[in-house]
Amino acid sequence: MAASVGDAPFVGLTSLALTDFRNYAALSIRLRSRFVVLTGDNGAGKTNLMEAVSLLTPGRGLRRASYGETARSGGSGGFSVRAEAEGALGQTRLATFVKPGEDGEGAARAVRIDETVARSADELLDHLRVLWLTPAMDGLFTGPANDRRRFLDRMVLSIDPAHGRRAADYERAMRQRNRLLGEPRADPVWLAGIEEQMAELGVAIALARAELVGLLRAMIGEAPDDAPFPKADLTLDGGYPFPFEGMAASDLETEAARRLAEARGLDARAGRTLEGPHRADLAVFHRAKAMPAALSSTGEQKALLIGLVLAHARLTRAVSGIAPILLLDEIAAHLDPGRRASLFDIVEGLGVQSFMTGTDASLFAALGPRAQHLTVSNGTVAA
């Protein structure tokens, strides 16, 4: 499994151990393939296992669940996820856990890398990048902008690990400004300081998103036109209402800060900040049909999303040099046999480790001996 694929060395998990995680009291499995196929009945624990892998990257994982929900009911109240990996910096042991009683609102999970406490979960990105596609994302194109923004920011994070911190700091500054604007005699000097910070972070966020969208469009453009998944076109909407083209970042920050100062009255009345990158949206189109993704058929939307995630995986590998781990939950069941076989071949070509789920092992027959098959049943896993 250590062989290099093209210019990016193989990155993947070689073992996974869980305690008190969802319906797993204790689990320890060895992973020995690029394709890890999880099959089992509804409710067996397939998505739970993927969710555990998704916590080996910053954020709240693929369900965005609270730690209280994640800890096994009837268990200790805490949980742990441990993995051995061939990471981007070599073999490594990764662990993340929440101790009993530490699952309150705003609590951070602990992260250890090679038994050393990490300052933040961002350090996991030095070793792994984990991307996912789950049925909960099916409504991405028709649902709230919030979800698309989060999707966009996760895509940025995998090529620019500083993005998570940037976004969190911006949110914190914005909450502070909103609170201050609600006070009768807010100190204008204090406000100006916060607005300067918001402008600096906000412009950096907008530029990082624009860069990701540009790179992704180029990556999608390079794929052959007969690719089995339709090509998406992407644009960024909303956010700052002034042009970024040809402007120096310092000028953009000055303009963003000026507009925030000007909007204080308006924002105070609205009780929120009305303009900025927290209002941006990712517009997705079906390229060949020149149609917004939201107006495409359900099947077309699913295929577009798969194409987008695969292009993003390719981009992540190209930009970061780290082949990302792909979590594909219940994807195979939605594809006809031809497209399914194409998906497997594309994923193999990406040189990544992938985890795939389905209720029926026959869905993965085309993988043949390329896959490690694991049967999941009621919180246990058998080879």
Ligand X SMILES: Nc1ncnc2c1ncn2[C@@H]1O[C@H](COP(=O)(O)OP(=O)(O)OP(=O)(O)O)[C@@H](O)[C@H]1O
Binding residues for ATP: 40-47
Residue 100 is a binding residue for ligand X (CB under 6 A): no
- What whole-number distance in Å separates Cα of residue 323 and Cα of residue 129? 7
Q: Which lies closer to ligand X via its Cβ, residue 92 or residue 359?
A: 359
Work out whether the CA dihedral 127, 282, 251, 200 comes out positive or negative.
negative
Tell me if 23 contacts ligand X by CB under 6 A. Answer: yes
The piece of 4-12, 42-50, 91-99, 301-309 that touches ligand X (CB under 6 A) is 42-50
* Residue 66: alpha-carbon gap to chain centroid: 17
246-305 binders of ligand X (CB under 6 A):
none
Out of 9, 16, 27, 40, the only residue in the binding site for ligand X (CB under 6 A) is 40
Return the sign of the alpha-carbon dihedral for residues 88, 372, 18, 51: positive
Residue tagged 């911190």 (tokens): 165
Residues 361-380 that bind ligand X (CB under 6 A): 376
Q: Which residue bears the tokens 């596609």?
A: 133
> Shortest Cβ distance from residue 370 to ligand X (Å)?
22
In the annotated binding site, the residues are 40-47
Choose the binding region for ligand X from 44-52, 136-144, 151-159, 338-346 (rule: CB under 6 A).
44-52
Q: What share of the chain is helix, strand, coil (3-state, %, to 5)?
A: 45, 25, 35
Identify which of residues 45 and 161 has a Cβ nearer to ligand X in the complex. 45
Indicate which single residue of 4, 66, 73, 250 sits in contact with ligand X (rule: CB under 6 A): 73
Q: How far is CA 178 from CA 13, 168, 192, 272, 278, in A?
A: 43, 15, 13, 6, 13
Name the residue among 69, 95, 124 with its Cα closest to residue 16. 95
Question: Using the rule CB under 6 A, is 72 a contact of ligand X?
Answer: yes
3-class DSSP assignment, residue 365? helix
CB of 220 to ligand X, least distance (A): 29
Q: How far is the CB of 17 from ligand X (least distance, A)?
A: 17
- Please give the residues from 340 up to 359 whose contact with ligand X meets the rule CB under 6 A: 359
32 Cβ contact list (under 8 Å, min separation 6)? 1, 14, 372
Compute how many residues bind ligand X; rule: CB under 6 A: 16
In this chain, which of 1, 30, 43, 146 binds ligand X, going by CB under 6 A? Answer: 43
How far is the C-alpha of 345 from the C-alpha of 349, rounded, in Å? 6
Per CB under 6 A, does 46 bind ligand X?
yes
Q: Smallest gap, in angstroms, from Cβ of residue 303 to ligand X?
A: 20
Kindly tell me which of 74 and 224 has the beta carbon lying closer to ligand X. Answer: 74
Maximum alpha-carbon separation in the chain: 70
CB of 367 to ligand X, least distance (A): 19
Among 9, 19, 39, 45, binds ligand X (CB under 6 A): 45
The first and second tokens of residue 345, run together, are 């071949």
For ligand X, the closer of residues 195 and 329 by Cβ is 329
48 belongs to the binding site for ligand X (CB under 6 A)? yes
Strand order in the sheet with 24-30: 24-30, 12-21, 79-87, 90-98, 110-113, 116-117
Strands 281-286 and 291-292: antiparallel
Which residues lie near ligand X (CB under 6 A)? 22-23, 40, 42-48, 69, 71-73, 359, 376
